[in-house]
Amino acid sequence: MNGGPTFEAVARDGWQIPERLNMAAEVCDRWAEAEPNRVAVIEPRADGLQKTTYRALQGMADALAYRLVERGIGRGDRVGVLLSQSPWTAAAHVAIWKIGAISIPLFTLFGPEALAMRLQDSEARCLVTDAGGATRLREGDLSTAVAEAIAICTPEGLSCDGPRFETADTAADDPAVMIYTSGTTGNPKGALHAHRVLRGHLPGVELSHDLLPQQGDVLWTPADWAWIGGLFDVLMPGLWHGVPVVAARMAPFSTEECIRIIRQASVRNVFFPPTALRALKAAGVEISGLRSVASGGEPLGAEMLDWGRQAFGLTINEFYGQTECNMIVSACAARYAPKPGCMGRPAPGHEVDVIGPDGRPQEGEGEIAVRRGSASMMLEYWRNPRATAEKFRGDWMLTGDRGIRDGDELRFKGRDDDVITSAGYRIGPGEVEDCLLTHPAVASCGVVGTPDPRRTEAVTAFVMLREGHEPGDATRKALQTHVKTRLAAHEYPRIIHFVESLPMTISGKIIRRELRRIATEDVLT
């Protein structure tokens, strides 16, 4: 069953996206009607595999949609989804889209400040979570002001055999999902996407998995589904294609558990973040039986690609994108040999190039940009027209990355801003700085990423202490715990330098490039 054009059709004819489109119908309803017993989600458990069919998934989504409507949720309302990998996570997004509302994926690892910021900024009216999440929130993870404005909705106890919920008639450009992305200063921004966003991901996903779908394909990623890479590079494309998706989240990543999941669930297609690949390589792991391995988030390098051929018996396909416009470049070993040092070719339907200050494609190094018209491009930053305008240069959306066009392929050179890439996560230094400044010991601070062999970059903080507070291991640990428990475990500064002053511009802004120089040149003792 095919619900739309393949990457080959997009390459030949361009985007053919219908005017009316709803992702809930695309990833769930059409399969539930055509092949209700087809497997949608697989959960590896100690007592065997738990399989959720499309008919069951539709029943779960319909029941949850009715419950959300009872709580007053309607078109355009924002609804948070605080769940890890599970069939209910898929059902929650489908239910929200059925109503015509906007889903907001949220990491279960988020601390109270990170959650509160996103829920307040989006003016979310409801939060879908499980019983454990509800207990955590009610016991103090959210401020009273936020908690009183948010209705908590849990799927436990829902009857999933009720009447069908009529999926809203939405336009392809109607908003459907908002994913928060890290920024260089201040709070993260909400990238608002339309129902067409999934169609924009499909060509790149198909290529990165060597022409997905094939008979017997089963998709899995250890990455959280709250990340755009988990939600729209794996879960939703798998559901769209009728390829079973494995729900098995590990925290932290374990090579032994990874192998067990792949074997038990007969996984054939994996999206491994680079950090997971490095852990597997360090453990000397070899995994047979996979048909495709894709990776994105940061470049792998020739050594990692060579190891992948040995460990998996195949070539790892790299892909590239960002929350604002994802899956725009991909390698595909099944179609062409990868070029050393390159991350792949622009995926069909996306015009990606290297542009100069004048906003025109140029030879040599420049800023990687994607032309307006890509289906996976965001509508806007939520209620932030200034940041939206700054994201574009003429008809091109700026990625913030430097690159070189090498024939048909693109070569990644590095970040053009201060976003930190650590263990596959993109971390905005501004949010970490704001959190540190709430600690009574901190007078001022600056946060940057510094080279780390395992994580690519380590979150590194330069801290000026207030009078009466002494530098040392106790203070360092207190600051790390402060960030870890209020933002997220992956955002805390693993390295903290105590300094007497910080490099500043005339206007009073921290010069982060100078902090990176100080850290990398070992100027500090």
Phi (first) and psi of residue 237, to 5 degrees: -60, -40
Amino acid 66 reads Y
**Of 187, 183, 198, 268, which Cα lies nearest the Cα of 228?**
198
In whole angstroms, give the CA distance from residue 107 to residue 291: 29
In whole angstroms, give the CA distance from residue 336 to residue 344: 10
Cα–Cα distance list, 43 to 47, 218, 219, 308, 396 (Å): 11, 12, 12, 26, 41
CATH code reported for the domain at 18-39+53-195: 3.40.50.12780
Residues in the chain: 525
In whole angstroms, give the CA distance from residue 292 to residue 315: 8
12-27 in b/e form (b: 16+ CB < 10 A) is eeebebeeebbbbbbb
**Of 62, 59, 126, 57, which Cα lies nearest the Cα of 86?**
57
Q: pTM to 2 decimals?
A: 0.84
The pLDDT assigned to 181 comes to 87
Averaged over successive runs of 10 residues, the pLDDT of the chain (525 residues) comes to 66 80 98 98 96 98 97 97 96 98 94 89 95 82 70 88 96 98 73 97 97 97 93 98 95 90 98 87 93 88 88 96 96 90 92 94 91 96 96 94 88 76 80 87 89 89 92 95 89 94 67 83 52
The pLDDT assigned to 89 comes to 98
Q: Which tokens hold the place of 367?
A: 């800023």
Q: Which tokens hold the place of 123?
A: 């003016």
Tokens 């729209």, residue located: 232
Is 223:273 a contact under the CB 8 Å cutoff?
Answer: yes
In whole angstroms, give the CA distance from residue 53 to residue 36: 7
Q: Residue 282: is it exposed, middle or buried by C-beta count within 10 angstroms (0-12/13-18/19+)?
A: exposed
**Of 88, 104, 215, 203, which Cα lies nearest the Cα of 154?**
88
Q: % helix / strand / coil in the chain, to the nearest 5?
A: 35, 25, 40
**Of 153, 177, 193, which Cα lies nearest the Cα of 73?**
153
- End-to-end Cα separation, the chain, in angstroms: 63
Is 134:207 a contact under the CB 8 Å cutoff?
Answer: no
Sketch the domain layout of the chain as residue ranges. 18-39+53-195, 420-520
Is 418:184 a contact under the CB 8 Å cutoff?
Answer: yes
Tokens 């290297």, residue located: 354
H helix or E strand, kind and range, residue 194: strand 189-194
Amino acid 10 reads V
CATH code reported for the domain at 420-520: 3.30.300.30
The pLDDT assigned to 50 comes to 97
Q: Which tokens hold the place of 231?
A: 């939600």
What is the distance, to the nearest Å, from the Cα of residue 131 to the centroid of all Cα atoms in its chain? 24
**Of 138, 144, 156, which Cα lies nearest the Cα of 67?**
156
In whole angstroms, give the CA distance from residue 407 to residue 367: 16
